[in-house]
Amino acid sequence: KAGVTQTPRYLIKTRGQQVTLSCSPISGHRSVSWYQQTPGQGLQFLFEYFSETQRNKGNFPGRFSGRQFSNSRSEMNVSTLELGDSALYLCASSWPRTGLKETQYFGPGTRLLVL
Amino acid sequence: AQSVAQPEDQVNVAEGNPLTVKCTYSVSGNPYLFWYVQYPNRGLQFLLKYITGDNLVKGSYGFEAEFNKSQTSFHLKKPSALVSDSALYFCAVRDDEAAGNKLTFGGGTRVLVKP
């Protein structure tokens, strides 16, 4: 079974631009979560989508948004990019049950560099 | 609120020696605990998890972890380390009283196994 895929793998943007990242979960998984990884802040939870609905949200500004499609694929968008948004963005998917006990499987990440 | 602490930024061990990576947690309810490993320029790979049951959990690549409720710890162990185990290790927790699928990660421990 194919793993979680994320596109693009690398991205360079300039301040003020916006960016959209894509995540395709493991087949059959309906929960998709996004995390930001930076050297200073570590791994931080952005948001989670389940059945096209945002189920949980981390402490990030409104510039960070996401959505999930009926096929469980998810996108996250960052508007008005800032230098501090440079990070590795990780997507994770898990089985469709309550989710509490289910393992999240991570994709390879999208490395975003904001200049 | 849920939190995780990994007290060691780096652990150095000689190949063939036992490896231990420490993790302590704090949750309101019952903890669901996970260990992940990250190799350079890669996403997170799942190693093992504790949900309930036996306090000793066995996972991938010869790793195991011991859940200790009284000490709120979930240390990762491997009896005989390999050079290929050199990587960044993350402990994560999910509180069963928290909504959704949010994982809270520790700051990570870099493991260096020397030949």
Tell me, letter by letter, the H, E, C secondary structure of chain A: CCCCEEECCEEEECCCCCEEEEEECCCCCCEEEEEEEECCCEEEEEEEEECCEEEEECCCCCCEEEEECCCCCEEEEECCCCHHHCEEEEEEEECCCCCCCCCCEECCCEEEEEC
Those residues of chain A whose CB sits closer than 8 Å to some CB in chain B are 4, 6, 31, 33, 35, 42-43, 45, 48, 50, 55-56, 58, 90, 92, 94, 99-109, 111
State whether B94 and A100 contact (CB < 8 Å): yes
pLDDT for B4-34, tens place per residue? 999 999 999 999 999 999 999 998 888 899 9
State whether B32 and A100 contact (CB < 8 Å): yes
Both tokens of residue A95? Answer: 């089985």
Q: Phi first, then psi: what are they for B4, rounded to 5°? A: -135, 140
pLDDT truncated to tens, each residue of chain A (115 aa)?
689 999 999 999 999 999 999 999 999 899 999 999 999 999 999 999 998 999 889 999 999 999 999 999 999 999 999 999 999 999 999 986 655 568 899 999 999 999 9
- pLDDT at position B98 is 66
Residues B82 and B18: their CA atoms lie apart, in Å, by 10
Among B54, B47, B15, B40, smallest CA distance to A37 is for B40
CB A32 within 8 A of CB A96: no
Closest-CA residue of chain A to B48: A103
CB B27 within 8 A of CB B69: no
- pLDDT at position B95 is 73
B114 Cβ neighbours under 8 A, 6+ residues apart:
B12, B13, B14, B15, B83
Percent of chain B with pLDDT over 90: 77
Q: What is the mean pLDDT of residues B95-109?
A: 82
- pLDDT at position B8 is 97
3-state secondary structure at position B5: strand
**Out of A42, A56, A101, closest to residue B108 by CB:** A42
B15, amino acid identity: E
Asked if B101 is an interface residue toward chain A (Cβ–Cβ < 8 A), one would say yes
Q: How confident is the model at residue B81 (pLDDT cuts 50, 70, 90)?
A: very high
